[in-house]
Amino acid sequence: MKKLWLLVVFLITACHQQPQNPILGNWLEVMPVNRHIIQGITFNDNGSAQSIGMQTLQYESWKLENDKLTLSGKSIGNGQTIDFSETYDIIEISPETLKLGKFGMYQIEYKRVSKIPENVK
């Protein structure tokens, strides 16, 4: 009977655990030179995205295909608003770190945070 009970508990637990996309959540860019600047991205499970600390670059959506991440939104500045879409290579993704690159020429490193600092919009 004890083995049957353990099997039932295991099956209930397994059925309730949904695999979560590892990119979901809040990510802040690691900026070693300008530590006072806080910026990043929030990835939502419905495919929407929001900029963190960037008034002129407004992320709206994201798409993940293979090892590529596409971010889309609006660039606001100089009296005009321009739609953009940028695709990055995912170099590394873990529960704490997200590294994006482009054409092997540069990398952007992000760290996951559970809460966005209050002084950042």
Model confidence over 37-61: pLDDT tens digits? Answer: 889 999 999 999 999 999 999 999 9
Say whether pTM exceeds 0.95: no
Q: Which residue has the tokens 């090892």?
A: 67
Cβ distance 67 to 89 under 8 Å? yes
Where are the chain's structural domains? 20-113
What is the C-alpha end-to-end distance of the chain, expressed in Å?
55
**121: confidence class by pLDDT, cuts 50, 70, 90:** low
**Alpha-carbon gap, residue 48 to 6, rounded angstroms:** 40
Model confidence at 15: pLDDT above 60? no
Model confidence at 4: pLDDT above 70? no
- Range 66-89 average pLDDT: 94
Could you confirm whether domain 20-113 is CATH 1.10.8.50? Answer: no
